[in-house]
Amino acid sequence: MANYFGTDGIRGKVGIEPITADFFLKLGWAVGSVLAKKGKASVIIGKDTRVSGYMFESALEAGFLSAGVDVGLLGPMPTPAVAYLTQTYNASAGVVISASHNHFEDNGVKFFSAEGFKLNGEDQSAIEEKLNEPMVSVESSKIGKARRHEQPLGRYIEFCKSTFDRSVNLEGLNIVIDCANGATYHIADNVFSELGANTIIINNQPDGVNINKNCGATNTKLLQEVVVETKADLGIAFDGDGDRLMMVDENGELLDGDELVFIVAKSWQSQGRLGNNIVVGTKMSNLGMRKGLKDLNIDFIEADVGDRFVMEQMQKHGSILGGEGSGHIICLDKTTSGDGIVSALQVLEALIKSKSSLEKLKHGMVKYPQVLINVRTTGKIDLDGHTQLQKVQNEVEKELGDNGRVLIRASGTEPLIRVMVEAKDANTAKKSAEILANVLN
């Protein structure tokens, strides 16, 4: 049986299996058939701004209808908005057509449960089993009905604003916002300006092919330049589907997900809001964040890479804050998924309450230089059984001591071994990573 689901739904190049219209048709039918086993079902479908989204929206819609499932169409909508609206509209599941931070040539699909969480492994297995069966439509009298929801934007905008402490506001704050020509293009300005901020919006003119192109959370160069040129207080960057966040301080310096999680954790702890004092990150979380949290007596839990795994560890340990350096930040007392807009509001709330600047807020965390080398392989390498690599890794780790760390892992999507080294200075990190990579070459 083919395994279509990766760490975050199904994703790939448009026109190449499984990212084809006929597969999405059958996928809609398979998911709908699984949902319909529990009784009358309904789903909502949102998408980002890729031109291929029109095609896949129609294919999924037809598949769901043929399984007897009602469909609500949302149009362009951030991934976290679909997670929220799935609950608001009392749907059985939420569907997002998106390839997140990838360029327009790619697309994919993500699913949310009725409670707004990513689908678990059990649900994914049931769907993949159904995909192996012949597609058979329900009888005509049981075919589902479709409708386009009228007010999803307004509902989500009001929800985002509700996560911000209204005892403070953003009046007088000058913010540059980069929408990545993606799904936040018609939402972000409303949220921040209605809370009082003066906003400059860039990359909010999607044309179907410019999503994530030299902009957004994966390329903040233009945002950094505009913040400095306009003398703004800070900049905010989202990715194409609005679940990632990067920020830029008043000097044009970039703050990644690790630094933003640290800022929120410190603020929440000072207000007695951090719950059980636990923050969840991943194996890639910077050593500087780990040490910064330790200095605050905040426990750090390490999850596998991927926001789904961060969520699993948060739920397991009762944490309300977790995230990744890539900008996925989950505020579990606010929402059920990584949400760029909601996360940005939490950082801004910390900034306003501290009467400080973004540059000063990150004090207490010194980010360690990180070097990542991808070693291409011709076949599968047994990292656990590679005695020479283990020997050299032990030597490097002994040399680094408490002032660095090593992470070597196989890519889940490509024939690569990822060698990552963090150290107090960049030269040491680079030299150590090269030594380890050479063992694999």
E strands along 15-173, which residues? 42-47, 70-76, 93-97, 106-113, 146-148
Q: Which residues pair with 370 in a beta bridge?
A: 422
* Among 392, 401, 393, CA closest to 424: 401
Helix (H, G, I), strand (E, B) or coil at 212: coil
Residue appearing with tokens 């059980």: 276
Q: Which residues pair with 58 in a beta bridge?
A: none
In the chain, the amino acid numbered 192 is F
Separation of alpha carbons 258 and 362, rounded Å: 10
434 φ, ψ (degrees, to nearest 5) = -65, -40
Report yes or no: 192 and 171 within 8 Å, Cβ to Cβ: no
Set 52, 66, 98, 100: catalytic member = 100
Report yes or no: 88 and 77 within 8 Å, Cβ to Cβ: no
At 244, list the tokens: 């990632």
Separation of alpha carbons 240 and 49, rounded Å: 8
Pinpoint the alpha helices (H) of 99-151. Answer: 121-131
* Longest distance between any two alpha carbons in the chain, whole Å: 71
Q: Which residues pair with 330 in a beta bridge?
A: 322
Separation of alpha carbons 311 and 331, rounded Å: 10
At 246, list the tokens: 């990067």
Report strand pairing: 42-47 vs 93-97. parallel
3-state helix, strand, coil in the chain (%, to 5): 40, 20, 40
At 292, list the tokens: 């910064």
Query: Sheet containing 70-76: which strands, arranged edge to edge?
Result: 10-13, 106-113, 93-97, 42-47, 70-76, 146-148
* Among 292, 314, 295, CA closest to 365: 292
Q: Identify whether 100 is a catalytic site residue.
A: yes
* Among 300, 276, 278, CA closest to 288: 300
Residues taking part in catalysis: 100
